[in-house]
Structure 1
Amino acid sequence: MIGWLIQEEIPFTIRIRNNSYTFNSRGEKIRVDRLFQSLKVGETLTLTDSRLLGVCPVYLSGLRLSDGQLLIVATSSFHQNAIEVYGLRWEIETLFGCLKGRGFNLEETRVVGYLRIKKLLVLPVIAFCWSHKVGEWKNNSVLPIKTKTHQRPAQSIFRYGLDCIRSELFNTFSQSKKLRKKLISLLRPSSENKGFYSEQST
């Protein structure tokens, strides 16, 4: 794939496997993670010289993640902030993951037309933003997400908010006005929402 992108002159910022092979400054064949093994958690390093992945010249950047793993990115040209650029791409990938199998099953619609997809995306994207906002509010103001034994959260912020909204929608409400008030309070996190939430739960 990288070879095709270079041939078509398409700029890229792609995460690569840590066990991919390249060459060090002495021309020795090594795994790419060896080039970044000295990084501490939170530290980044961008190599100024291009390296070969197979026969493809790329520029490599690395980041030591909070769990100790390495994130290694290959780019088509030198970018000092390649890790930040990849972070933006990862946010987009995460969004589409939530719109698909992890949330709204968007691919099951089987819509292929550009304009139809464009229209179809509006509501799921709004729902994603709402879910994420509710998840942030509930995690910060009501009940923090549980942490598993390996120190990772049991749920994502998005999933936490989506489950909260689903739970509220399937509760029995005596009046539609009460439903609207409840949903608006979840959509607009504020200092008042915690009390409102507690009141409705008792």
Structure 2
Amino acid sequence: DDRRERNNNRRSQHGPVSGGDIISEQRGAIISETRGGFIGIGTDQRIALMQRYLALFPAASIELLLADREFIGAQWMDFLNENNIPFAIRLKEDMTLNLANGTTWSFRTLLRRKRVGGTAIWEGRLNGTTGATSQPLRIAAKRLADKQVLIVATNQPEARQALNLYRRRWGIECLFGDAKTRGLNLEDTRIKNPRKLDCLLVVVTLAIIWAYRCATRVMGMKAIPRKTHGRRQKSWFRLGFDSLRQWIINDQPKAASAWSDAAPIRLLIPLHSR
């Protein structure tokens, strides 16, 4: 759809990162940590993964780290703060916040009378299983049309902006779909050896990047046309992936040039201007 196509266009040049996958804005590098065939999501694994990244690239290469409710914790957020890594992390509704006036409230209580569409802003220390964050965080929350609550914690000055930027995480969900059920079927592998899985993830990463470059080769600066129901004819990945497979069979030089030649730079909206 339109959101997917827009996010696919941005991934190669912007730096939101999520979960067990770290995407550098400047280098497009992806670092993954496997544990017996599964992505490691514990606090220690996340910190170790980020330390691997920081050993290769400066923290300034990350515009914003995005994470879902699986990737919370005071120790994790303190680590990000101490290493000057900006983040926007979604929180659970039953978590609690220590406000500056000394009171402690759950987000469920704070949002009890909040209407759909309105945004609430707080600042305080977030409580986790091992204690509260050492530094106050800014929190923005909104009740959505489906009655769910979107709560985002950030170490950046503008909590409302972090709430808006969190929507970019949809692009990362699309990336997972491209690698799995809607594309390369990564989950069908029977490989269990972590080192071999790491190699497979590298191959999948290169294939996805190649598909995106093929789509850019086909479309240039144009957008994918819409059907009568308003959705795009194809996603950016599907267009590129279909083109890549066709070129590999029928026109290998074209497939190779899509990888090696300079691609047109599509117009983007910087994170800081949103």
Report the TM range for the smaller structure's normalisation. 0.5 to 0.7
In 1, the alpha carbon distance for the partners of 2:155 and 2:69 equals 15
Indicate the structure (1 or 2) with the bigger Cα radius of gyration.
Answer: 1
Contact 2:184 2:204 in 1 (8 A): yes
1:109 equivalent to 2:185? Answer no
1:127 equivalent to 2:207? Answer yes
- Structure 1: which 5+ runs fail to align? 37-45, 51-57, 172-178, 192-202
Aligned partner of 1:48 among 91, 116, 122? 122
Q: CA deviation at 1:13?
A: 1.4
Contact 1:47 1:61 in 2 (8 A): yes
In 1, the alpha carbon distance for the partners of 2:258 and 2:70 equals 48
In 2, the alpha carbon distance for the partners of 1:167 and 1:32 equals 51
- Structure 2: which 5+ runs fail to align? 1-67, 78-87, 94-106, 125-137, 265-274
Q: Deviations over 1:142-201 (max 9, x none)?
A: x75221334332221111111111222343xxxxxxx4322123333669xxxxxxxxxx
**For residue 75 of structure 1, what is the aligned residue in structure 2?**
152
Amino acid at match of 2:230: Q
Distance 1:154 1:72, change over 3 A: farther
Distance 1:117 1:86, change over 3 A: farther
The structure whose residues are more often helix, as a share, is 1
Q: CA deviation at 1:86?
A: 2.9
Contact 1:22 1:31 in 2 (8 A): no
In 1, the alpha carbon distance for the partners of 2:92 and 2:182 equals 23
**For residue 243 of structure 2, what is the aligned residue in structure 1?**
164
Residues paired across the two proteins, number? 158
Q: CA deviation at 1:118?
A: 1.1
Higher relative contact order (CA 8 A, sep 6+): 2
What TM-score, normalized to structure 1? 0.56
Contact 1:138 1:144 in 2 (8 A): no
In 1, the alpha carbon distance for the partners of 2:70 and 2:167 equals 23
Q: CA deviation at 1:87?
A: 5.2
Contact 2:224 2:234 in 1 (8 A): yes
Q: CA deviation at 1:77?
A: 5.0
**For residue 117 of structure 2, what is the aligned residue in structure 1?**
34
**For residue 186 of structure 1, what is the aligned residue in structure 2?**
258
When the two chains are superposed, the root-mean-square deviation of aligned CA atoms in Å is 4.4
Partner SS, residue 140 of structure 2: strand
Q: CA deviation at 1:103?
A: 0.8
Q: Deviations over 1:25-69 (max 9, x none)?
A: xxx724663324xxxxxxxxx72357xxxxxxx92256x9xxx99
Contact 2:89 2:154 in 1 (8 A): no
Partner SS, residue 75 of structure 1: strand
Q: Report sequence identity in percent.
A: 23
Partner SS, residue 168 of structure 1: helix
